[in-house]
Chains A and B, each alone.
Chain A
């Protein structure tokens, strides 16, 4: 595999001029992305996270060559995205969670056939790759169904397959799990893990779901108001902001709020004290220790541990920077 970075960005900046309705000349300049620099090496999987409006989609559009930067340099798969659009389209696969690239009135299988022709797959290559994707994403049952009749989960699987049909070197996913249920998210993540293991595909993913990042992305980029706020591992990210986990306990009998447990904070009490939520810092205590402390005060019937909320992590990063 080639050693050139799959993504190389330096000083990347993009402004939009937002004009109030009816005013063609007066406009306010909005800086959506500001002086962004980072590199993604072949085979890496990077989670690109940030609050709504932080500039994630804007960055991705520039990487894919559908938006021209105001300033700075972009190379995707070694190519200039805007000038080399068509060559780049053969090397990357992009999914925008909100948009469809399938043919609405045609059966799913027909979309795959058209895309295979667009990407110049030969008959054998097309059969093999389509078969592989249909199996792994479990699409066999609805291959002959028109796209407009698919459920969201079914369609998203087909969208991902469509973006990966030509075995791109880099896959860019902008909120691929938006609106999916837990099982569908799980299935999609497992597919992406397998795909990366077998083909060494690089991955860049934006999401508001921490589960996506945890399962898929060893490396995380956090963008805040158009600038890079963090670049490193996911565990490092939780550590820098002191991300806390939350233990939810269901108790046998109504219990007084469970305050005063070492290194934990009592968050809330529901159902007359039958359910309580406790936040703890995994660097300073463990779920087991917290549970033991709770058990001394009341009998625990059931428990759940909530993962750190991505919005919460991002909020803390932002707060630390201001």
Chain B
């Protein structure tokens, strides 16, 4: 299957992937306590991040890289709310299933492995939005004066952008974990990925206030499309054609990284040495 097949999928096949999405959602609901723990962490670090960034802003004379206080607060709380959605840890069950040989079970199903993984993953992320993402955003809204755009356009485009970011983050981690077919042991790779991805996606500070050369470098990678773009669109930092261009870049990255994962899956299947038995 290629990414275009996914669009022109017959209804019966689409039903299978929808079921997987629903299964992911229900599966995740078994881990409500973990989600609440995640909420506490997200909010705590939200206040910490806000304090540091506002102090930096004050030291810089009130604005920095186009961010004023309201914008910066919007950045902090939207990015914290999105943390449960995007996977920048580098880890995924896929790598573990390759290591133990359980991947055999996945390959024994008449499904596209990548699309099945994505469907399940989106289901789980959709669930965490409820106990973790939305409450984080609400707390941010109620306790701080974050600037928000007016009119429906940024929110509609923002929702699309969030979905693309979540998809892209998964597809990248999928491709990374697929390499376990060749390497078996990928923990070092995952940690490196986590460090680079979480910084370059704009999780700690907005990509817009990186030093010039670093910003240029970061914008050459898919990472800003995983977090910075939806945050900028939703907070009204990027508007109009700027916002549209950023979202189109997300689409391009989804296609490129998705294709990479697809090719790795194809090559990997011939290389697969199902462990254990």
Contact = CB atoms under 8 A, between A and B. Distances in A.
Q: State the majority secondary structure of interface residues on B.
A: helix
Given A101-B108, A105-B27, A120-B16, A57 B277 contact: yes
Contacts of A113: 19
A114 B20 contact: yes
B30 A146 contact: yes
A82 interface: yes
Contact of A61 (B30, B111, B274): B274
A247 to B, nearest CB: 36
Interface string B234-277: 00000000000000000000000000000000000111111011
B188 interface: no
Nearest to B111: A118
A118 B110 CA distance: 7
Nearest to B112: A86
B108 A106 contact: no
Contacts, number: 79
B110 A89 contact: yes
A295 interface: no
Query: Which interface residue of B15, B26, B110, B271 has the most chain A CB atoms within 10 A?
Result: B110
Interface stretch (B43-51, B99-107, B140-148, B198-206): B99-107
What class of interface size applies to chain A in its complex with B? 20 to 34
Interface string B117-132: 0000000000000000
B36 interface: no
Contact of A65 (B19, B107, B271, B277): B107
Interface stretch (A43-51, A92-100, A236-244): A92-100
B12 interface: yes
Interface in B1-49: 12-13, 15-16, 18-20, 23, 26-27, 30-31
Contacts of B26: 105-106, 110
Contacts of A100: 102, 105
A267 interface: no
A83 to B, nearest CB: 10
Nearest to A172: B108
B98 to A, nearest CB: 12
A110 B23 contact: yes
Nearest 6 interchain pairs by C-beta: A57-B277, A89-B110, A117-B19, A105-B30, A86-B110, A120-B12
11 contacts: A16-B273, A57-B277, A66-B104, A67-B272, A85-B107, A89-B108, A89-B110, A105-B31, A114-B16, A117-B18, A117-B19
Given A66-B104, A117-B18, A118-B110, 13 more contacts: A57-B277, A66-B274, A67-B273, A68-B270, A85-B110, A89-B108, A89-B110, A96-B104, A96-B277, A99-B102, A99-B105, A110-B26, A120-B13
